[in-house]
């Protein structure tokens, strides 16, 4: 397992073929997923080991990807400690009582082992089922989680989030510190149960200027990544629209930096530096193009990725629900068959 192509690439070691996995590889694009989820609410499925295990395995079986990502959600640890929230189909996480005051932080307590029994059970069972295929655990980064807790749901402009950040920095930092602690604990739980890598999703950090990211967010994401450093597994740090933040996100303590499709990987490699490996970054809509166009674009991604000390192929963000699974299967075959000639 430690010698798997995915883990070797995370460490910047030589690989026999380019590893590939997809963010949101499990989910609505798969008919077998939609069938299994029929009548079961999203969050319930995350806390049911029978479903979480099977859903995690579905894309591994179908595509032969080089890593599995644990079927869960960034709000699962918050639900586990009793925060009143739900995942509304077609909308995303919705929080019953959005955070407006310091008094509300008390609910953001540390994770107790009993809160995450089903998560530990799922991860342990998955590691057995997956054999030599590594499992990636994940958590939401403090900023992205805070945005849901403050806005009460998804937001385009993150107006209320930034309002709190600018007007009450003390409460802001207290909130993000709590979320960093919980995120770190949730990652530790998954790693100790057998996950061989983790990804910290700061999906919405790209809405911040570099200066604001560095002041208000980076120290907290760095705390999450540092809190699992002792466990020695590769740490991937990803966000959308983070072209201007890439160096900072790497400096926050990542081993691998995830890049969305807006920045070519050769440019990203210069920005990230520090010997860090890159992950990404085919436009998720490229899989809707004719196969020859899709594979030409994938080849461009692979060639640009050679500028980095290592490269893990992925999309620039999650698989879109309307994606044709056969197109993804062709993409995996193309990446696996790509001749990595010496540079």
Q: Segment near ligand CP3 (CB under 6 A), from 26-34, 180-188, 225-233, 333-341?
A: 26-34
Question: Which parts of 203-222 interact with ligand CP3 (CB under 6 A)?
Answer: 203
Residue nearest to ligand CP3 (CB): 203
Total residues contacting ligand CP3 (rule CB under 6 A)?
Answer: 23
The yes-or-no answer on residue 216 being catalytic is no
Question: Which parts of 217-256 interact with ligand CP3 (CB under 6 A)?
Answer: none
Q: Segment near ligand CP3 (CB under 6 A), from 71-79, 112-120, 183-191, 205-213?
A: 71-79
Q: How far is the CB of 28 from ligand CP3 (least distance, A)?
A: 5
Contact 256, 296 (CB under 8 A): no
What does 224-259 look like in DSSP terms, one character per residue?
A: HHHHTGGG---EEEE-SS-GGGHHHHHHTT-SEEE-
- Kindly state whether residue 313 participates in binding ligand CP3, applying the rule CB under 6 A: no
21, two tokens: 């996995």
First to last CA, the chain: 27
Residue selected from 27, 184, 280, 310 as contacting ligand CP3 according to rule CB under 6 A: 27
- Kindly state whether residue 64 participates in binding ligand CP3, applying the rule CB under 6 A: no
Binding mask 82-121 for ligand CP3 (x = CB under 6 A): -----x-xxxxx----------------------------
The yes-or-no answer on residue 11 being catalytic is no
The yes-or-no answer on residue 50 being catalytic is no
Residue selected from 47, 63, 71, 216 as contacting ligand CP3 according to rule CB under 6 A: 71
Q: Segment near ligand CP3 (CB under 6 A), from 3-11, 18-26, 178-186, 328-336?
A: 18-26
Residue selected from 23, 80, 146, 205 as contacting ligand CP3 according to rule CB under 6 A: 23
- Kindly state whether residue 269 participates in binding ligand CP3, applying the rule CB under 6 A: no
Beta strands in the chain (DSSP E): 68-69, 85-88, 92-95, 135-140, 197-201, 235-238, 256-258, 277-282, 311-315
The yes-or-no answer on residue 24 being catalytic is yes
Task: Find out whether the peptide bond into 197 is cis, omega within 30 degrees of 0.
Answer: no
Whose CA is closest to 249, among 227, 219, 228?
A: 219
The yes-or-no answer on residue 28 being catalytic is yes
- Kindly state whether residue 26 participates in binding ligand CP3, applying the rule CB under 6 A: yes
- Kindly state whether residue 278 participates in binding ligand CP3, applying the rule CB under 6 A: no
Q: Please state, in angstroms and rounded to a whole number, the distance separating the CA atoms of residues 340 and 272.
A: 23
288, two tokens: 């809707």
Contact 265, 304 (CB under 8 A): yes
Radius of gyration of the chain from its Cα atoms, rounded to whole angstroms: 19
Q: Segment near ligand CP3 (CB under 6 A), from 5-13, 65-73, 277-285, 308-316?
A: 65-73
Q: Please state, in angstroms and rounded to a whole number, the distance separating the CA atoms of residues 68 and 27.
A: 13
> CA of 271: how far to CAs of 139, 218, 275, 335, in Å?
24, 16, 11, 25
For binding to ligand CP3 (CB under 6 A), which residues are involved? 23-28, 37, 42, 69, 71, 73-74, 87, 89-93, 138, 144, 201, 203, 318
Q: Catalytic residues, which ones?
A: 24, 28, 37, 73, 148
């Amino acid at each position: 397992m430690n010698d798997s192509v995915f883990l070797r690439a995370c460490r910047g070691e030589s690989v026999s073929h380019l590893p590939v996995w997809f963010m949101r590889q499990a989910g609505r694009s798969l008919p077998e997923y939609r069938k299994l989820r029929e009548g079961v609410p999203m969050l319930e499925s995350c806390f049911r080991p029978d479903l979480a295990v099977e859903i995690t395995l579905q894309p591994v079986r179908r595509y032969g990807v080089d890593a599995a990502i644990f079927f869960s959600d960034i709000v699962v640890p918050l639900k586990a400690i009793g925060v009143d929230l739900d995942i509304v189909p077609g909308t995303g996480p919705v929080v019953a009582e959005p955070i407006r005051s310091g008094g509300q932080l008390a609910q953001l307590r540390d994770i107790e082992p009993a809160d995450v029994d089903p998560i530990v059970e799922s991860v342990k069972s998955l590691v057995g089922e997956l054999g030599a295929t590594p499992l990636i655990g994940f958590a939401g980064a403090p900023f992205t989680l805070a945005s849901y807790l403050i806005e009460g749901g998804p937001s385009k402009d993150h107006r209320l989030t930034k309002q709190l950040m600018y007007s009450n920095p003390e409460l802001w930092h207290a909130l993000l510190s709590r979320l960093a602690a919980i995120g770190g604990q949730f990652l530790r739980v998954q790693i100790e149960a057998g996950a061989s890598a983790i990804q910290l999703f700061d999906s919405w950090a790209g809405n911040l200027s570099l200066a604001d990211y560095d002041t208000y967010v980076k120290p907290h994401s760095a705390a999450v990544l540092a809190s699992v450093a002792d466990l020695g597994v590769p740490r991937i740090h990803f966000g959308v629209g983070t072209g201007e933040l890439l160096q900072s996100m790497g400096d926050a303590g990542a081993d691998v930096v995830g890049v969305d499709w807006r920045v070519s990987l050769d440019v990203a490699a210069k920005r990230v530096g520090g010997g860090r490996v890159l992950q990404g970054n085919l436009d998720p809509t490229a899989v809707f193009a004719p196969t020859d166009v899709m594979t030409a674009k994938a080849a461009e991604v692979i060639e640009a990725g050679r500028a980095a000390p290592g490269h893990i192929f992925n999309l620039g963000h999650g698989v879109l629900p309307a994606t044709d699974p056969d197109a993804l299967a062709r993409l995996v075959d193309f990446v696996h068959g790509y001749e990595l000639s010496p540079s």
